[in-house]
A and B are shown apart, each in its own frame.
Chain A
Amino acid sequence: ETGVTQTPRHLVMGMTNKKSLKCEQHLGHNAMYWYKQSAKKPLELMFVYNFKEQTENNSVPSRFSPECPNSSHLFLHLHTLQPEDSALYLCASSQDLLRGDRGYGYTFGSGTRLTVV
């Protein structure tokens, strides 16, 4: 385990369903991220939270709604998704926003494999 826990590991949902992905870290990190990984494509940054405040929304459709109640927990609420939203959703954390001169790197969770049917 890396210290970043994601649940569930796998999720199959219909296009009309509402579900949530959960991410939890107890590393004392202050920044948390959601990434989307589709087959044969680079990781796509979706959202960034720093000290519970959203600092980045990378033009993500509103059917994805993040929530960060505290520095240790991050949620991604899903509703009315499309089949093309099927992907591996990765949560990551870092000590703080990853400034170049710090470079501690990200700690990733194992991801949630989402299938939209």
Chain B
Amino acid sequence: SQQGEEDPQALSIQEGENATMNCSYKTSINNLQWYRQNSGRGLVHLILIRSNEREKHSGRLRVTLDTSKKSSSLLITASRAADTASYFCATIPLKGGGFKTIFGAGTRLFVKA
């Protein structure tokens, strides 16, 4: 598997439900970021969590980080149809410098109205 691998690859839920996406990585990291991409558009930075943080909130987003398991999760609460997008995690390895940011292949989320 690759650094920054999201799971599941695709997720379909009803509006109002919560959506949980997971990201696993291999090497020690400095921080982990989540991005969102609407179809055929650029990525939008959602939230960053540093390696010394365990949980972070931003509006309806909740991100957790477990460095012992090398994994992170993104929870979107009370989902809306407008949340339909692909979600990517990006990790910055502890060694190698910032331009080694590694993106996963993403989770495609579909929220049905």
Contact = CB atoms under 8 A, between A and B. Distances in A.
Ranked nearest first, the 7 interchain pairs of A and B with the lowest CB-CB distance are: A100-B30, A108-B42, A98-B98, A105-B45, A43-B103, A99-B98, A108-B43
A113 B41 CA distance: 9
Given A33-B99, A106-B45, 9 more contacts: A2-B42, A6-B42, A97-B98, A99-B30, A99-B97, A100-B29, A107-B45, A108-B42, A108-B44
Interface residues of B, number: 27
Interface in A71-95: 88, 90, 92, 94
A42 B104 contact: yes
A110 interface: yes
A102 B50 CA distance: 10
A109 interface: yes
B32 to A, nearest CB: 9
A97 B42 contact: no
Contacts of A106: 35, 43, 45, 101
B48 A100 contact: no
A100 B88 CA distance: 18
B60 to A, nearest CB: 19
Interface size class of A (residues with CB under 8 A): 20 to 34
A103 interface: yes
B21 interface: no
A102 B33 CA distance: 12
A58 B105 CA distance: 18
Interface string B78-110: 000000000010001010011101111110000
A102 B13 CA distance: 35
